Each structure stands twice: as C-alpha cells, then as structure tokens.
C-alpha cells in the first residue's frame, strides 16, 4: 500500500510541472555532472576487480559497476517567450579505477522560437568523479570538472544577432566542483560553478527600432522583448540538491528539490563600451525535480527526469529561463 501511494504521489507530482514558470538548471553544467547528477542516475562504487574478473562476473555485474558506459539523453525545455529548446546529449563514462570515474558529456542543440531557429553543438563537459567512502548504507563522492564552449555564443539567424536563449553554447569556459552524500534512499549535493571572461554575443535591444509601418514590425517587436546579452559574463552558481528515492524492484523513483543561488549579477557591455551590471540577475531559483529509472536488463536502463521552478531570479540575460525541462535517457555498460 505504501508503494502504491508513493507511486501515485510521484505521477501527480510529475504532471504538476505545467503550472510552473521560471528558470531551470544552469545549462549546460553543474546540475547534471558527475556525482552531482540526480540520485537515480548516479554511479555507485564497483565491487569488481576488472583486471582479474571472469567474463561471467562482468556479465552479471550491476549496471552501476560498469567499466565503460555510454548513454543518450533527449532533453526538451521551454524557454522565454515559449522558445522550444531541444538537446541531444551523448554521454560516455570510463572507470579508470574502482572508485574513480571520468565522464564526458557532449550535446547537440536545436532552438526554435518567434525570432527564428539556430542549431549546433553545445558545451563540452568533462568531469572526474571519485567515491572516497562507500558502504552498504552510505557513500561520499566529489566531482571536479570543466565546461568547454564549442562556439562564442553569437549564432545568428539571417544575419541578425540572436539573444542567449537561442545560443547553443554560452561561449564561456567554466570550472565546477561539488560533494555528494548518499545515505540509504536519501541523497544530498552541494556544488559550485564559476565562469570566466565574457562571450562574443552581440544582441542588445537598445539598438532595435520598432516601426509599426515596417514589414518587419512583428519581428522588431518580438526582438525588443528579449534581454540584452552583448559580451555577457555570468555570475557564479551555488547549487544544493536534496532527494528521496523509492525502489520497486527494477523501477526506481526519486523526488527532490534543487535550489540554485546565483551569487552575483551578470554583466553585459553596451555599444559605448560601458560594462553594465544586470540588476536582478542574481538570487535564488528553486526547482522541484522528479525522476524514474527502469532496469531493462543487467546492462541497460532507461530513465525519465523532469524539473520545474517555483521561485526564480528576476532577470536572466544568459537565456537560462525554463518553464519546464524533460529528459528521456538510455544508458548501457560496455567493455
């Protein structure tokens, strides 16, 4: 009975996201990197010595004990002014030691909205994840990593500069790190992400003129409602994550909260060269999250994660406002 009630609450919780309106995680980074990821997709410490184990032992190992793992995530998010954002994310993990994983995440992004469309590779994320304590009921792990831009954050449509929500890359190098704790079916995470320098985005709405007699009036009007992001530099993010898992044989469910604190305002550069602080771009975003993972066999799983915010920052010149985010993924271990 308890399991049935828990499952019913989970389903109701998932469908409630359509009423939420604000910003999702700090794409493309820290919330889904290494051991800072959702509890139902984290890797546990392997108990197998891969250099000596028999093939039978490897074939019967739990999916979280793999030496290599590949995965594909299909991510859909709704951005500002109902912009549709699609990400196809390739993942690869290698266990270089029993407790040490190296992770690579590479997205391809397609964005469609009332200003046009853009597409291209997203930001490459490289992380190292080390479980330094583990047992039957508890594990502790840290994650260190870097985010490498694949373009300068200045994609254009028909020659027009596009705001950051249409960019496939933030155009910024970032460093990240964090600590995760798991105790029985509970997990907690604290993480920090810092971006360096500024990108080469050219969008600034002050220079957009709106002429009601022009054939381009509708486009001009729409463009005027996006936030300026010229030569954007982002503030640092501090994240906290608290989740509770539920286990039903091969099915795992998780519910959680994900506060993201932007520690300082972002900055942009006006056409005059003046550096301007974007007031209201710092502060708290509080996301509610849920996830489900199903073990298809000993080597393959599928998962669905969803998130939506209940508290948001006032402004987001980095284009990271999301009404909701949905992630459908599949992963398998290989040798």
Output phi, psi for 11, to 5 deg: -65, -45
In sequence order, what are the residues at sequence separation of 6 or more whose Cβ sits closer than 8 angstroms to the Cβ of residue 22? Answer: 285, 308, 309, 310, 311, 312, 313, 321, 322, 323
Average pLDDT rounded to a whole number, residues 297-318 = 89
Decide: 242 and 257 in contact? Cβ < 8 Å.
yes
Peptide bond connecting 28 to the previous residue in cis, omega within 30 degrees of 0: yes
pLDDT above 80 (res 172) = yes
Q: Check the CA dihedral 40-187-33-20 and report its sign.
A: positive
3-state DSSP: the chain helix, strand, coil percent, rounded to 5? Answer: 15, 50, 35
Length in residues, the chain:
335
pTM tops 0.85 = no
**Coil, strand, or helix at residue 49?**
coil
Q: Which tens digit of pLDDT belongs to each residue from 66-123? A: 688 899 999 999 988 889 999 999 999 998 888 889 999 999 999 999 899 999 999 9
> Using CA atoms, how far apart are residues 312 and 138, in angstroms rounded to an integer?
33
CB count within 10 Å of CB 334 equals 10
Residue with tokens 């546990």: 44
Q: Is the pLDDT of residue 136 over 80?
A: no
How confident is the prediction for the chain on average, in pLDDT? 82
Give the residue extent of every domain in the chain. Answer: 2-334
Query: Cβ contacts of residue 10 below 8 Å, gap of 6+?
Result: 246, 253, 255, 290, 292
The Cβ of residue 241 has, within 10 Å, a number of other Cβ atoms equal to: 24
Q: Which residues of 118-135 are buried (b: 16+ CB within 10 A; e: fewer)?
A: beeebbbbbbbbbbeebe
pLDDT score recorded for residue 5: 43
Place of tokens 């209201």: 280
Cα separation, 53 vs 63, whole angstroms:
16
SS3 121: strand
Q: According to the 3-state scheme, what is the secondary structure of 280-291?
A: CCCEEEEEEEEE
Fold of 2-334: Porin (2.40.160)
CB count within 10 Å of CB 6 equals 16
Average pLDDT of span 14-19: 40
Task: Measure the CA–CA gap between 195 and 7, rounded to whole angstroms.
Answer: 39
In 3D space, the residue among 26, 72, 65 whose CA is nearest the CA of residue 47 turns out to be 65
Distance, CA of 167 to CA of 154 (rounded, Å): 7
Residue 35's pLDDT band (cuts 50, 70, 90): low
- With a cut of 50, say whether residue 231 has pLDDT above it: yes
- Given a cut of 80, whether residue 241 has pLDDT beyond it is yes
Encode pLDDT of 184-206 as tens digits: 889 999 999 999 999 999 999 87
């Amino acid at each position: 009975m308890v399991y049935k009630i828990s499952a019913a609450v989970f389903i109701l919780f998932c469908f409630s996201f359509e009423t939420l309106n604000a910003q999702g995680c700090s794409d493309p980074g820290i919330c889904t990197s290494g051991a800072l990821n959702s509890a139902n997709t984290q890797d546990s410490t392997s108990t197998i010595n891969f250099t000596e184990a028999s093939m039978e032992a490897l074939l019967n190992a739990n999916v979280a004990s793999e030496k290599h793992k590949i995965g594909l995530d299909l991510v859909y998010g709704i951005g500002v002014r109902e912009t549709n954002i699609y990400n196809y994310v390739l993942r690869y993990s290698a266990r270089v030691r029993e407790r040490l994983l190296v992770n690579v995440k590479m997205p391809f992004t397609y964005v469609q909205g009332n200003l046009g469309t853009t597409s291209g590779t997203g930001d490459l994320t490289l992380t190292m994840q080390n479980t330094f304590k583990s047992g039957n009921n508890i594990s502790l792990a840290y994650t260190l990593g870097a985010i490498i831009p694949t373009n300068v954050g200045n994609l254009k449509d028909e020659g027009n500069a596009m705001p950051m929500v249409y960019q496939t890359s933030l155009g910024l190098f970032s460093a990240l790190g964090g600590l995760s704790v798991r105790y029985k079916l509970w997990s907690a995470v604290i993480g920090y992400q810092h971006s360096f320098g500024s990108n080469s985005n050219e969008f600034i709405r002050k220079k957009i003129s709106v002429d009601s007699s022009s054939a381009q009036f509708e486009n001009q009007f729409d463009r005027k409602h996006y936030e300026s992001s010229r030569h954007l530099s982002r503030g640092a993010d501090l994240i906290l994550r608290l989740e509770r898992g539920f286990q039903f044989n091969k099915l795992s469910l998780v519910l959680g909260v994900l506060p993201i604190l932007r520690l300082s305002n972002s900055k942009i550069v006006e056409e005059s060269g003046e550096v301007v602080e974007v007031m209201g771009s710092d502060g708290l975003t509080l996301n509610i999250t849920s996830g489900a993972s199903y073990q298809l066999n000993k080597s393959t799983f599928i998962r669905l994660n969803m998130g939506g915010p209940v508290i948001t920052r006032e402004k987001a010149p980095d284009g990271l406002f999301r009404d909701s985010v949905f992630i459908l993924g599949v992963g398998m271990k290989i040798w």
